[in-house]
Amino acid sequence: MTTPPLETDVVVVGGGVTGVAVLRDLALRGVHAILVERFDLGTGTSGRWHGLLHSGARYAVRDQESARECIEENTTLRRIAPHTIEDSGGLFVLLPGDDEAYAAQFVEGCRASGIPTEELSTAAAHRREPLLAPDVRLAFAVPDGGIDSWALLRSMAADAEARGCQVLVRHPIVGVERTGDRITAVRVHDAVAGQDRTIGCQWVVNAAGAWAGDVGRMAGVPLTMIAGKGVMVVMASRYVRGVVNACRKPADGDIIVPQHQVAILGTTSEQVPSADDISVPPADVDRMIDMCAQMVPAIASGRVLRAFAGSRPLYRPEAPAGNGGASGGDTREVSRTFTVLDHASRDGLDNMFSIVGGKLTTCRQMAEAVVDRLAERMGVTEPCRTATEVLPGADHGHHELAAPLARVEQDQAYGELICECELVTRGQVREAVASGLTELEDLRRKLRLGYGPCQAAFCAWRAAGMLAEGSEEGDPVAGLERFLEERWRGQQSTIWGDQARQALLNHAIYRGIFDLRGDGVPDEAAAVSPEDGA
């Protein structure tokens, strides 16, 4: 049975923050649009990063345009999406061996970019961050924060959908239909139904981030993206109240970003042939720990939860076509600001725009830039309202770390906990299942189920039980085995000490007590898949 073809004004390709921000912007201007995404929202770079809500200070010395963009959007996001942000603040610290001259440039660069900074005495810095290295020489406070990209994605997508737009996940683009200078339709593959679909459209916005080049190729326009891979290490607990940056030229292992209950150590920078390369070399893990331990020594003996990698979507206009396959080399020199490509003037393709480069913090601004250009060509006169309209959920105010604990305490819901590490309750799982989530992986992404130190040892099977209660269909045990194998992938580089004990206990439970052998899970599952999300 064939499904009726879809029609829309604009197809947005890419379910990362940029694509979803574009969708929302279009929705707020009354334009109908459909977003297509190959896996799930936030499985690309938007789900494989450190979660820093940039103050821009990291660019203050070398890239003041990016710095200015960041501080503006930092302020805007705090207004429209406070519920996705932890107001944790940030520090830049100068360690012995760091160049004091850089500190002076840093202060000046922040001032010039409009980033408020405050120098703290080392005593004040240690009061604020008790685990900070004792030999820190200088410290500057900046308005960094932590942002939860999935929360942001969900919020923006919900807003867009409420205004009539559509989000199609698990619908990778497989081609376009082009008549002369115009794309008339986008062809996608419905991975769930297992068949192709056609979406007729007037305009296309390529917001595929690190994969924008692939989309360009499908549309017949040359577009070279450079994948700047970064490895990040997740510590099992938070260590720091706010972000801690090394006050030096950006380099490996110079940032610690607290995200909810964990700390993310970042990062490396290595050009790789494909953004689908998300492998984590053990040496990179060791390097992150050793470098970040200079700022917070306790990290050296701390427990590592996992590590992941993601690629920065870098656009270097002067890179010759076809050279996207180069590897090696530090990609930090490439500007982090963004570019709107109008393929009409650039490539003779009348109705496609690409939005490339940039960073998560500036996603709204990026969307505004491309939608402004698109709207002009479409003859849509509605101005952009994304900076002033708050997102659904904004009335909750900033996300507070202790909020889940406070909720459980208030309701005395101790007995309702399904995921104890992350304080996910039975009610939350029931609600998620009622909203149509049927896979443990979906529950993980939506509720943080299994994110904690025990890596789903107990909650995975409790949740599988709840899924089984909800439906007679399917094989919940097989689903659980798949989930466990998916979570296991790529973890070998980060398991030692405490985490090794945890892994062996989990193994003793599932393999030993329950005698699960994962017979139904295919072997090629052994390699990490980009679909997995961090």
Partner 1 sequence: MRADVVVVGTGPAGLASATRLAEAGRQVLLLARGNGFTHWGAGSVDVLGRIGGEPVERPLEAVDRLPEGHPYHLVGQAAVRDGLDWFSRFTAAAGLAHHGDLEHNRGQVTAFGTLRPTCLVPEPAAGELGGRVAVVNFAGFRDFSPALCAQRLRQAGIDATPASAPLPAWDHDRYFTGVELARAIDDAGFRRRLAPGLARAAAGADVAVVPAVLGVGRGHEPWADLQSLVGMPLVEAATTPPSIPGLRLFAAYRARLEQLGVRWQFGFPAVGVERDGDRVTAVRSEGASRVQATRCQELVLATGGVAGNGIEANRDGTLTERVAGLPVDGFGDRLGFLGTRFLGDQPLAAAGVRVDGELRPLDASGAPLLANVRCVGGLLAGHDPTVEGSREGVALATAARVADLLAATPAR
Partner 2 sequence: MLHVEQTADHCIKCNVCNTVCPVSAVTDLFPGPKYEGPQGQRFRAGIDTGDSPDKSLDYCSACGLCTQACPEGVMVAEINQVARSRLVTDRGGLKLRDQIISRPSLMGLMARPVAPVANAVMAAKPVRVLVEKAMGVHRGAAMPKFSAMTLRSWARSHRDPAGTTRTVAYFHGCAAQEFEPEVGAAVVRVLERNGARVTFPKQGCCGLPLVSNGDFDAGRSYATRLVRQLRGSADDPGVIVANSTSCGMTLKAKYRELLGLDDADTRAVSQAVYDICEYLVGLDDDGSLNRSFAPIRARALYHPPCQLMAHGVGLPALDLLALVPGLEIERSRAGCCGTAGTYGVKVEKYQIAMDVGQTLFDQVAASRPDFIVCDSETCRWHIAKSTGLPVYHPVQVLDRAYATA
Residues of this chain that interact with partner 2 (CB under 8 A) are: 86-89, 130-131, 236-242, 258, 261-262, 298, 302-303, 400-406, 409, 412, 414-415, 417, 420-421, 423, 452-454, 457-458, 498, 501-502, 505
- Min dist CB 447 to partner 1, Å, is 16
Contact of residue 406 among partner 1, partner 2, none (CB under 5-8 Å per partner type): partner 2
Contact of residue 493 among partner 2, partner 1, none (CB under 5-8 Å per partner type): partner 1
Q: Is 514 in the site for partner 1 (CB under 8 A)?
A: yes
Identify which of residues 59 and 461 has a Cβ nearer to partner 1 in the complex: 461
Contact of residue 326 among partner 1, partner 2, none (CB under 5-8 Å per partner type): none
Write the CB contacts of 372 (distance below 8 Å, at least 6 apart in sequence).
384
Q: Name the helix (H) or strand (E) containing 366.
A: helix 363-378
Contact 212, 206 (CB under 8 A): yes
Identify which of residues 3 and 301 has a Cβ nearer to partner 2 in the complex: 301
Q: Compute and round to an integer the Cα radius of gyration of the chain.
A: 23
- Min dist CB 412 to partner 1, Å, is 6
CA nearest 494: which of 287, 282, 283, 259? 282
**Which of the stretches 206-214, 225-233, 361-369, 465-473 binds partner 1 when contact is defined by CB under 8 A?**
465-473
Question: For residue 35, how many other CB atoms are within 10 A of its CB?
Answer: 29
Contact of residue 476 among partner 1, partner 2, none (CB under 5-8 Å per partner type): partner 1
Q: Which of 62, 485, 529, 531 is in the footprint of partner 1 by CB under 8 A?
A: 485
**Which of the stretches 104-112, 166-174, 352-360, 413-421 binds partner 1 when contact is defined by CB under 8 A?**
413-421
CA nearest 233: which of 443, 424, 495, 501? 495
Contact 368, 77 (CB under 8 A): no
Contact of residue 461 among partner 1, partner 2, none (CB under 5-8 Å per partner type): partner 1
- Min dist CB 116 to partner 1, Å, is 40
- Residues forming beta bridges with residue 425, ordered by sequence position: 417
Q: Is 484 in the site for partner 1 (CB under 8 A)?
A: yes
Identify which of residues 140 and 239 has a Cβ nearer to partner 2 in the complex: 239
Please tell me the distance from the alpha carbon of residue 82 to that of residue 96, in angstroms, as a whole number: 36
Contact 120, 140 (CB under 8 A): yes
CA nearest 14: which of 228, 173, 237, 241? 173
- Min dist CB 272 to partner 2, Å, is 32
Q: DSSP alpha helices (H): ranges in 12-63?
A: 17-28
- Min dist CB 296 to partner 1, Å, is 17
Write the CB contacts of 286 (distance below 8 Å, at least 6 apart in sequence).
none
Q: Is 517 in the site for partner 1 (CB under 8 A)?
A: yes
Please tell me the distance from the alpha carbon of residue 6 to that of residue 33, in angstroms, as a whole number: 11
CA 323 to chain centre: 26
φ, ψ (nearest 5 deg) of residue 118? -140, 125
Residues binding partner 1: what is the number (CB under 8 A)? 55
**Which of the stretches 102-110, 203-211, 391-399, 414-422 binds partner 1 when contact is defined by CB under 8 A?**
414-422
Please tell me the distance from the alpha carbon of residue 42 to that of residue 51, in angstroms, as a whole number: 12
Question: For residue 363, how many other CB atoms are within 10 A of its CB?
Answer: 29
Write the CB contacts of 457 (distance below 8 Å, at least 6 apart in sequence).
502, 505, 506, 509
Contact of residue 507 among partner 2, partner 1, none (CB under 5-8 Å per partner type): partner 1
Q: Site residues (CB under 8 A) for partner 1?
A: 282, 286, 412, 414-415, 417-418, 426, 457-458, 461-462, 464-466, 468-469, 472, 475-477, 481, 484-485, 487-489, 491-493, 495-497, 500-501, 503-518, 521, 523, 525-526
